[in-house]
Amino acid sequence: MKSIYLRNFVATAALVTICFMVVAFSFMAIGRSYVITEYRSNMEDSAHEVARTASAVAQNDSLTSWVLSMSISSIGKSTGNHVFITDPSGKIVSCSDQAPVCGHLGMIVPEEVIQQVTEENYDELSTLGGMYKGQRYVAAVPIEAVGDGTVLGFAFVTNEIQNMLGGWSTFLMMALIISAGVFGAALIASLVYTKHMARPLDEMAAASRKFARGDFSVRVKQTEDPEDEMGALIDSFNKMADSLEQAEKRRSEFIANISHELRTPMTTIAGFADGILDGTIPPENQEKYLRSIRDETRRLSRLVRDMLGVSQARARAADPSRRNVFDVTELILQTLLSFESRATKKNLDVDPQLPDNHIMVRADKDAITQVIYNLLDNAVKFAAPGSCLTLRLYKDDGKAYVSIKDYGETIPADDLPFIFDRFHKSDRSRSLDKDGVGLGLYLVKEIINSHDEDIAVRSEDGMTEFVFTLTLAE
């Protein structure tokens, strides 16, 4: 059945997730609570032990005695706690640290803490007024004199939260072992049903890792029925890989092309500017080179403007809400009028072969105007002076066909497959179109593709013809 893998996966995932979460969180919560409670109880016991020791020592000596210091140092080392003793005002007079001169001696415990310890035993999470960088668990009890119960000082026992949870690892390990057992049992129960289905997923995971390293050539072998879910997934994955490979190729080409387009004008501008600034170019010639800088700056501006225009035009053309019915015959004639002066200047014979009846199409009128304009601009630009420029419109099989033909230099056969690529300029473009950036035909292709239409070009024996289609209005 097509969905058996999905059902097995959902059942296994649900079982493993529920069991793992219940067992793990139960042990984690119980273990953590137990460890903290037990450790804090031990800290209180240590505090009472320190208080009793200090009280005994104070019968014959003071709280600053070396004997008491060694005693609390021993207690601190054996329990892993930090232990110190204060006088009644909260000033630290003895500490478990072994340094020759302890940095804690002389520090003052906040008054509110001393007040709370005096009233009742202190068991809180605190930094003791900034004495510690981070919060610690603190247990404190008064040190009372033997006999009359006078408060001689206070015994403090502290420890970091991380140290307190060290014993928790035992409980955590137990939880992990039980959870791993449940997890393994669930996997074994489903392994018979899912092993074969999981193999393509492993291959896709390996392929994805290669994608992450920039290798888009790998594909997953199709061993499943393309009609079932796994087969469809493999097919979609391979199509995605094809798209990624093409996208990476276009990205590399785009970076190379834009770098090429920007390098020359930027180098020219920088070179001329340096020459003017360092005096290499004499004052009488500076105006000439400033004009060159101006021209190159305008060229850069055109490049940026054209790139932005391509992006905006492509987005507009892809919007179905902008498409309506219009007469493409009238649109061709209107666009052709804008080239009248240029055609006359090159002495071109314009031959519009348009039908007598109107041909109505459904498309984005502004975008198609841009297509016709760019193709006419290309034709007028490269047509040989005195030659014929032919525009033809006809319909066939539910489509309108627009043909724009010029006679001039033939586009090299090697350039034809790339004529619509972004920033591509053929040899004749480089020789005749010094200011072109190779975006005109690219925009044409993008607009036509966004309408789900086709465009083709052929160039042979001095003739170049572009033909694109439009869907006829119903």
What pLDDT is stored for residue 443 in this prediction? Answer: 82
What pLDDT is stored for residue 427 in this prediction? Answer: 46
Q: Give the up-direction half-sphere exposure of residue 323: CA atoms within 13 A in the CB hemisphere.
A: 18
- Tokens (6 digits) for 165: 């949870």
Provide the residue type at 182 as one letter. Answer: V
Q: Which residues contact 374 (CB under 8 A, 6 or more apart)?
A: 440, 441, 443, 444
Domain residue spans of the chain: 4-168, 216-317, 322-471
Superfamily per CATH, domain 322-471: Histidine kinase-like ATPase, C-terminal domain (3.30.565.10)
Tell me the DSSP string of 322-353: G-EEEEHHHHHHHHHHTTHHHHHHTT-EEEEE
Provide the residue type at 77 as one letter. Answer: K
Top pLDDT among 320 and 31 is at: 320
Predicted confidence band at 455 (pLDDT cuts at 50, 70, 90)?
very high
Taking residues 340-357, what's their average pLDDT? Answer: 91
DSSP, collapsed to helix, strand or coil, labels residue 419 as: coil
The stretches of 383-457 forming alpha helices (DSSP H) are 427-432, 440-450
CATH 3.40.50.620 fits 4-168, yes or no: no
**Separation between Cα atoms, residue 441 and residue 417, nearest integer Å:** 12
- Most confident by average pLDDT, 69-83, 229-243, 309-323: 69-83
Strand order in the sheet with 399-407: 349-353, 388-396, 399-407, 463-471, 455-460
Q: Give the up-direction half-sphere exposure of residue 62: CA atoms within 13 A in the CB hemisphere.
A: 7
DSSP, collapsed to helix, strand or coil, labels residue 108 as: strand
Predicted confidence (pLDDT) per residue in 231-290, tens digit: 788 888 888 888 787 777 767 766 766 676 677 677 878 888 888 888 888 888 888 878
**Separation between Cα atoms, residue 5 and residue 11, nearest integer Å:** 10
According to DSSP, the residues that pair with 465 across neighbouring strands are 405, 458
pLDDT at 173 over 60: yes
**Separation between Cα atoms, residue 271 and residue 31, nearest integer Å:** 73
Report percent pLDDT > 90 for the chain: 17
pLDDT at 167 over 60: no
Report percent pLDDT > 70 for the chain: 80
0.75 surpassed by pTM? no
Instruction: Give, to the nearest 10 degrees, the angle between helix 440-450 and helix 365-382.
Output: 150
Predicted confidence band at 376 (pLDDT cuts at 50, 70, 90)?
very high
What pLDDT is stored for residue 428 in this prediction? Answer: 43
Residue that has been written with the tokens 């890792």 in this structure: 209
Are the C-beta atoms of residues 354 and 394 closer than 8 Å to each other?
Answer: no
Nearest CA among 141, 64, 67 for reference residue 105? 64
CATH classification code of 216-317:
1.10.287.130
Top pLDDT among 132 and 428 is at: 132
Number of Cβ atoms within 10 Å of the Cβ of 370: 20
Q: What angle (nearest 5°) sits at the alpha carbon of residue 254, between those of residues 249 and 258?
A: 155
